[in-house]
Chain A
Amino acid sequence: QSALTQPASVSGSPGQSITISCTGTSSDVGGYNYVSWYQQHPGKAPKLMIYEVRNRPSGVSNRFSGSKSGNTASLTISGLQAEDEADYYCSSYTSSNTLGVFGGGTKVTVL
């Protein structure tokens, strides 16, 4: 299945806000409210940051927020911090299969 489309990289200065987009189709992102976001630091396993488009798991900073409009979901990181530098992946339920689909990943750099 085709991956969801994310920008390869996004950067920002400490304290700024950045937004990562995740574009799919009406068969995945646009058709269901089952979009998740994962953070992955180098050499580490992915960590769930957002589920069901906009919900934060317990323990995740409220600087992370999610939203969706049409076929595009977004992850916003406000008050950017050095520790936020990582790769971020979106994921969505898809009608094509029961596994879901990942985005290609976005590298966030804190300048």
Chain B
Amino acid sequence: EVQLVQSGAEVKKPGESLKISCKGSGYSFTTNWIGWVRQMPGKGLEWMGIIYPGDSDTRYSPSFQGQVTISADKSISTAYLQWSTLKASDTAMYYCARQGPYSSSWGYWGQGTLVTVSS
């Protein structure tokens, strides 16, 4: 069974750094794209970026380029989303998703990580 398990909720202060994780299991981690999606409170879904763990090929949405870093450690089947300097506007639910099993769709999702940034 394909599973994506995300790290737990975080409460941070503006200016702090943060790295959240998404651990894949039940499939070949290196041969499927993993993406990160932001959902701000009461708002819709937004693509942040995607990574191909096999070769770490990473693509960012223009809105998030330079604002976050996406990475993956294939030795432990885990993808990451990190911020160096959090802002209050980063408060949101963040989902990881795996592409597949059908062409360009995203059929597997993590449970989400709630990030709250508040002074």
Binding site for B on A (CB under 8 A): 1, 3, 34, 36, 38, 40, 45-48, 51-52, 55, 57, 89, 91, 93, 97-105
Contacts and interface: CB of A to CB of B under 8 A. Distances in A.
Contacts of A52: 102-105
Contacts, number: 69
Interface stretch (B9-17, B23-31, B45-53, B78-86): B45-53
Given A47-B109, A104-B44, A99 B95 contact: no
Contacts of A98: 50, 59
Contact of A51 (B37, B47, B97, B102): B102
Contacts of A101: 47
Interface residues of B, number: 24
A30 B35 CA distance: 24
A1 B61 contact: yes
Contact of A100 (B101, B104, B112): B104
